[in-house]
Amino acid sequence: MTEPPQGPAPVLQTPPDVRHQTPSDVRRRATLAGTAVSVLLIVAIVLGSRLLRDFDSALLPYAVATVFLAFGVAYRYTVWISAPGARRLFKQGWRSFFSAANFRRAPTALPKMIATYLGFQKFLGARSHARWAAHQLIFWGCILAALITFPLTWGWFTFTSSTGSGPGYEMRIWGLKVLGFDSLNIVGWLMFHGLDIAAVLVIPGASYFLWRRMKDRGAITGQRFAYDLVPLIALIVISVTGLLLTFSSIFLHGGGYEFLAILHMVSVVFTLIYIPFGKFFHIVQRPAAVGMQLFKYTSRRKDGDEVLACRRCQEPIDTAPYVENLQGTMRDLKLGFDEGPAYCPRCKRVMRGNAYLTQVKKGFK
């Protein structure tokens, strides 16, 4: 193996948008973004519910929580992409997404990555099949619950009956009839019990991860109660109280329904407000990772699958555009090691060890 060539230290140049960006600027921009998104959501609720004619006042706490959710997501996402690394990832992802040349070279790349990386999360299967299955249960259960809960909360979906008590119902979206169904057949049962199905999916998935965090020594070592355990407990509480509401209405003739409804509402509102500031925020971040995967894939196609080799051991690292992107992030952060991405992980560990040995260890007498 040959040692890396020695040369003058690279001149680090920080882009103007990074150099003049202060924490107060970031917070101000994030606050404006959060406010704008919240106002847009309020306007959408008012217009989508036909000036609140279809809005159910009993669901007001849920609607207010979604407005806070919109503000929090926009605020934290703006702060996140203000960091040099995230900003480069964000820009490269959108550039790859809107590139006509990339679409001509690989027209099926984006749908395939959305399905495999974002939808079915195949990368989790390489870690553990059980973790992948549990994550899929939580993912699809939450997706189903969101698709039902949010439009109902905002008054976009309504279910009406000409007789007042069924069994014939009409589903309307923004006041327009979309579907008519009988509540006594299978379609009607699925329509009225969609949230119960979502709860049945979420409970085993969240319970598995909660059990794993109680038993797995590796997970216990670095876990934090508020960050790692509270989200799982919240999902289980929401799902269990939701199922108990159905149980109360069917088998107990409404016994304890009011208490369960309040408990369910509190757990849902707390979780919605918690999403932007806890572990659930990775749900919002994940699509950006798809953009970066698309960038890596299209850069390989563009360069004819040419992969750069480590400067020290000649092991393959990644494509030239991807390595250059990491080097740019190093320069933005002023780490003084923007050539680091040109080495494989093993060689970087060896170089750090050698630097410690020569510059720190030998300094002690």
What's the per-residue H, E or C state across 12-32? CCCCHHHHCCCHHHHHHHHHH
Measured distance CA(32)–CA(25) in Å, rounded: 11
End-to-end alpha carbon distance in the chain: 32
Residue 169, SS3 per DSSP: strand
In this structure, are residues 301 and 99 in contact, taking their beta carbons and an 8 Å threshold? no
Per-residue pLDDT at 37 exceeds 90 = yes
Q: How far is CA 358 from the centre of its chain?
A: 43
> Helix 129-154 and helix 230-251: axis angle, to 10°?
60
Per-residue pLDDT at 25 exceeds 80 = yes
Other Cβ atoms closer than 10 A to 12? 13
Quick one: pLDDT band at residue 4, thresholds 50, 70, 90? very low
In this structure, are residues 246 and 196 in contact, taking their beta carbons and an 8 Å threshold? yes
Entry pTM: 0.76
Other Cβ atoms closer than 10 A to 185? 11
| pLDDT average, residue stretch 215-241 | 85
Quick one: pLDDT band at residue 327, thresholds 50, 70, 90? confident
> Is-cis flag, bond preceding 167, omega within 30?
yes
Per-residue pLDDT at 10 exceeds 80 = no
* Strand order through the sheet with 176-182: 157-160, 168-173, 176-182
Quick one: pLDDT band at residue 170, thresholds 50, 70, 90? confident
Give the per-residue pLDDT at 164. 60
> Encoding tokens for residue 233?
């407990």
Quick one: pLDDT band at residue 305, thresholds 50, 70, 90? low
Which amino acid, residue 275?
I
Per-residue pLDDT at 48 exceeds 60 = yes
Give the per-residue pLDDT at 79. 92
Measured distance CA(225)–CA(63) in Å, rounded: 28
Give the per-residue pLDDT at 180. 80
Task: Please classify residue 13 by burial: count the beta carbons closer than 10 Å to its beta carbon, then call 0-12 exposed, 13-18 middle and 19+ buried.
Answer: exposed
| pLDDT average, residue stretch 149-175 | 82
Give the per-residue pLDDT at 39. 97
| pLDDT average, residue stretch 183-201 | 88
User: Which one-letter DSSP state was computed for residue 342?
Assistant: G
Give the per-residue pLDDT at 18. 46
Per-residue pLDDT at 23 exceeds 50 = yes
Percent of the chain with pLDDT over 90: 33
Q: Which residue has the higher pLDDT, 253 or 196?
A: 196
Quick one: pLDDT band at residue 350, thresholds 50, 70, 90? confident
Give the per-residue pLDDT at 5. 45
